[in-house]
Structure 1
Amino acid sequence: MLGTTWPLAAAPFLLYAVAVVTGKWLRQKMVEKELSPADFSSVGVPRPEEKKIKGTAVICGGSIAGMLAARVCHDHFDRVVIVEAEEWLSGEDGCNPRPCTQKHRRSRVGQYYSTQGRDATDLAHKPAYSLTQILPADFQIRMRGHTSLVPYHLGSKIARTLYASRQGLETLIRRLLLACNSYPNVKWVPGTVTGVAVDPQADGRLQKVLIHAHDGHTDIDAALVIDCTGVSQAGSKWLRRAGYDCTPSSDPNDQLAVSYMPNVHYDSFTFTLTPDIRARLPVPGGYENAGCFFAVIANSEVDNRYLSAFQLESGRLMITVGAWSPVDQLPRTLHDVKTFSRSLVLDKPIPEWWFGMLDMLDGCEDTMECHPFHVPPSKYFRFHEVSHLPSNFIAIGDSLIHLNPVFGHGIPSTVLGCIALNKSLNDLATWDGTEVSLLPADFSRRFFKAQWRKVEQFWCVPHYGYKTTKPSTGESLSVGSWKRFYVHHFKLLSSKDVEVGEVWWHTAMLLAPSIDMFHPRIVLKVLFHALRGGLD
């Protein structure tokens, strides 16, 4: 009898062992896909000069994506050229160490005065290049007023991040790339890319980039063409004019671009503060020690608004108020910000120190600047599904995938795209065992597939949680509803449960794969929380 029953008794333990092994394997695969630690470690390692790819990598656009792509290409190509329409960016004002005093304004970057916060561990020893703040990545996220727990309990300082405006971050990168003379083969060419020319001697390859400059038309021979034109996403237009059919191979009747309209507006209020005011602001822990004061999102079931506050470079403070709404009805004055703050529908009210800080800012209202912004449609191009592309054309950053900026995924997707580019270029020496002077015929296809595997995590569940969102063609707002339900309760629980808070922080900071949110133990906690009806 014992001999016939022991397999049944052992079955649960065997299933558990299989589940553990499978879970570890799956997690490792997700780490490789979403975070690319092995690929990241090779970024910044240059090829020997004699093994660099002959020719010029032409970067079409000199914003953040363009400059990061240029930095990667510097390690692989003989020459790198950035073509940028705004000529002043390569001059003294474009590399101004105090970006807030720049005399020129970006005409093509709507978010130039928005907040940016990114990992900056390598910049801590380069203070001469920036007046930005590098502080713990504690964003004080408050879902419906409940503050998510940050893993200070782990006993070591949490990762630090750079708190800066888009203006400050972009200028810092430009200074590091152009002003420090460390990358002599990177050149800046003022002009607007108007198209591309096909190589008549090599079918399936681009030969030149066509440029309209202030002194007329010109062109540049290109070993690699990178579309970094941002939200204008001009690359697909160039390819069609050059005769390329950009229809996805999976469905000849389908469109290359997939988009939805989030209908988000936000206003950014920037204040320039004196050292005395900064010292007296009633921020918990002190103003100088807090990068983000808080980021609060109202109860989405009844309120579509949010509020955040960050410190920026050069002693500035930014308050952002926003809403998922097709109509812009946001504050334009500091008094309106106070009213807006008190009217948010939250389970826990905003603390009174916040209103004390707003009262103190009344004395700084003469320095206040308000920058309204209407978020354009979120869109991505399905280049990874196109069969016939030039072998030496790619797109990175907003040129490939433009995301809702409220969630801060734009720069991470750009960085992951640059990591995919570096990996693809490194692999050229191993695909057939020899170095190459021209990119192989399948380079573009390989790159787009590799890039999409890394960045699809930011798109795969559209932000359809608000009724004002206009979904993609053929979809409804119910798409992804089960996952939104789960993540909503996961985030709420992160304010009470230390383990959930730790997982949420690591996944939000892209320090752990998203699959960690679905560990069986975490899932049970979240479902139990949801069954209880949320927080008490």
Structure 2
Amino acid sequence: MEMTRRHAIVVGGSMAGLGAARALANHFDRVTLVERDELTTSTANRKGTPQAQHAHGLLASGYRILSGYFPKMMDELVADGAMPGDLTGDFLWYQYGGWKLRSNCGLEGIVVSRPHLERKVRERVLALPKITLLQGHDGKEPVFDPGTRRVTGLRVRNHSTGAISTLDADLVVDALGRGSSSPKWLASWGYGEVTETNVPIEVGYATGVFERHPGDLYGSIGAVIAGTAPQSTRYAAILGAESNRWIITLAGCLRDYPPTDFTGWKEFARTLPTPDVVDLVKDRAPIGPIVSYRFPANRHRHYEKLKDFPDGYLVMGDAVCSFNPIYGQGMSVALTEARALDGCLAAGDDDLAKRFFREVTRIVANPWAIATGEDYRYPKVEGRRPPGFTIVSRYMERAHRAATKDAVVLRRFFEVASLLAPPPSMMAPGIAWRVFLGGGGVLRKTSPARKATP
């Protein structure tokens, strides 16, 4: 049935919520963004995004969506000190025992700190006349009408006063992340239990921020250095950021957590397969303390499997599906879901929840397969391996090696990693032939990193 489109509410002001608010502004008279934190104009880290201090990747898919919604914003970020570049020509990748070919693949991107990116997106979203921010308020619970079987608003609590009030709405979107209470609310309204798929990985981060010097890291804008599973559980991400900084995140899964004291942190870095992190920080100290963050498990809540769903209510972002963060998929997946919400609303109101969750299921399928496929390489990770897992894993090892010298395989690999192409496209005949040859192309531009590596 059709709904009026006077007022929509988004609960949660992180990237998923900001993307949702931007999409809803195309279809509703008013949009209210409810956020528990008091948001400032600074890039200071906030309680609601404890992971924001660490290295974050914006995949090519997310970059394109943000550029479409907010023209010229990327230029503003660059003017603020963010670093643009080609995903493989300007960013370095050490995986499966070798450096990927350093050759432009045509996938544009940007490296910037998560707080600065989120602040710029928030400024753009709140500049839209239809959108209002209600900060310092908890989304206590949606208002559910059992007679009409729909959500009609949201109860909010003022952090300062404790006062509870009700906001009426035609649509409420839960973008509260992993802490979302939607399963509990839906069960209390009589919609049954939301089933979950969990793949534990127990990954831990430790991040230091360092001064960036001209010529650092072979003139690149960053790098990912990964040990090979299952022998190694350790990774590093080095990202250039505004204010001439490097954000360097060390990570270990299966509780192989990096220390937060600088001496122990450097010793952890020495165990990586290349010495680049240690070489980069040998003549400098961290700016501020080394901070940590832990993530227990990949989790997918299957709202699409419920037989029925209340009108006037949707769930998105990490509240639906969250992935091992070392693969940098979260922001781009959330933005892709926001664009899907935009499209679903453009198509009408009938079966909105059913159509939206069908789209979300399609969107998360590929990043879920990528993240859990890598995590399942560790025998200790619990979970049901998909059919053909061993064969696909061996094929992908060869694909990684081929991507060290074949620009065609390289581009396809990062199209898949950037959520621009489905994982099966890695096995298309033209790609598979090059993979089995060990790389069918020629080395067009040798990586300086390769020359410097024994």
Give yes or no for TM over 0.5: yes
1:161, CA displacement in angstroms? Answer: 1.7
Q: 1:163 aligns with which of 104, 111, 118?
A: 111
- Other-structure match for 1:469: 381
Alignment partners' CA distance in 2, 1:447 and 1:406? 27
Q: Does 1:302 align with 2:231?
A: yes
Deviations 1:188-245 (CA, angstroms, capped at 9, x unpaired) = 243112222223552x21112122223311111121111100110222222222x232
Matches within 5 A, 1:14-33: none
- Other-structure match for 1:212: 157
1:414 alignment partner, SS class = helix
- Other-structure match for 2:282: 359
- Other-structure match for 2:444: none
- Other-structure match for 2:96: 144
Matches within 5 A, 1:93-112: 94-96=40-42, 99=43, 102=44, 105-112=45-52
Report if the CA contact (8 A) 1:310-1:317 is conserved: yes
Q: Does 1:266 align with 2:217?
A: no
Q: 2:355 aligns with which of 434, 440, 446?
A: 446
- Other-structure match for 2:121: 173
* Percent identity for Structure 1 against Structure 2: 22
Alignment partners' CA distance in 2, 1:148 and 1:55? 51
Alignment partners' CA distance in 1, 2:81 and 2:165? 38
Deviations 1:307-346 (CA, angstroms, capped at 9, x unpaired) = 2211112222111111122253x233444444333323x4
Deviations 1:460-493 (CA, angstroms, capped at 9, x unpaired) = 352211234233xxx2699833322222221122
Matches within 5 A, 1:121-520: 121=67, 122=71, 123-127=73-77, 130-138=80-88, 139-152=91-104, 158-178=106-126, 181-199=127-145, 202=148, 204-214=149-159, 215=161, 216-241=163-188, 243-247=189-193, 256-271=195-210, 273=211, 278-279=213-214, 282-285=216-219, 290-292=220-222, 294-328=223-257, 330-344=258-272, 346=273, 349-350=274-275, 355-361=278-284, 364-365=285-286, 367-428=287-348, 439-440=349-350, 442-460=351-369, 462=372, 463-471=375-383, 475=384, 480-520=389-429
Alignment partners' CA distance in 1, 2:99 and 2:129? 44
1:129, CA displacement in angstroms? Answer: 8.5
2:143 alignment partner, SS class = strand
CA distance 1:260–1:421, change in 2 (3 Å): same
CA distance 1:494–1:476, change in 2 (3 Å): closer
Alignment partners' CA distance in 2, 1:197 and 1:301? 48
Deviations 1:110-153 (CA, angstroms, capped at 9, x unpaired) = 3120122322654233359844333332331111341112542x
- The residue type paired with residue 320 of structure 1 is T
Alignment partners' CA distance in 1, 2:410 and 2:79? 35
Q: Does 1:80 align with 2:31?
A: yes
Alignment partners' CA distance in 2, 1:331 and 1:229? 29
Alignment partners' CA distance in 1, 2:304 and 2:386? 25
1:220 alignment partner, SS class = strand
**Higher Rg:** 1
1:300 alignment partner, SS class = coil
Alignment partners' CA distance in 1, 2:253 and 2:280? 26
Aligned length: 421
| TM-score, normalised via structure 2 length | 0.85
Report if the CA contact (8 A) 1:206-1:393 is conserved: yes
Alignment partners' CA distance in 2, 1:187 and 1:341? 42
Alignment partners' CA distance in 2, 1:513 and 1:476? 19
Alignment partners' CA distance in 1, 2:190 and 2:82? 44
Alignment partners' CA distance in 2, 1:231 and 1:73? 22
2:117 alignment partner, SS class = helix
CA distance 1:53–1:134, change in 2 (3 Å): farther
Give unpaired runs (5+ residues) of structure 2.
440-454
1:302 alignment partner, SS class = coil
1:256, CA displacement in angstroms? Answer: 1.4
Moved over 6 A (4+): none
2:29 alignment partner, SS class = strand
Q: Which moved more, 1:401-410 or 1:456-465?
A: 456-465
| TM-score, normalised via structure 1 length | 0.72
- The residue type paired with residue 306 of structure 1 is Y
2:232 alignment partner, SS class = coil
Q: Does 1:522 align with 2:442?
A: no
Higher helix share: 1
Q: Does 1:70 align with 2:35?
A: no
Alignment partners' CA distance in 2, 1:528 and 1:177? 49
1:452, CA displacement in angstroms? Answer: 1.1
2:32 alignment partner, SS class = strand
- Other-structure match for 1:33: none
Report if the CA contact (8 A) 1:58-1:225 is conserved: yes
Deviations 1:4-57 (CA, angstroms, capped at 9, x unpaired) = xxxxxxxxxxxxxxxxxxxxxxxxxxxxxxxxxxxxxxxxxxxxxxx9953211
- Other-structure match for 2:442: none
1:225 alignment partner, SS class = strand
1:317 alignment partner, SS class = strand
1:517, CA displacement in angstroms? Answer: 0.8
CA distance 1:417–1:223, change in 2 (3 Å): same
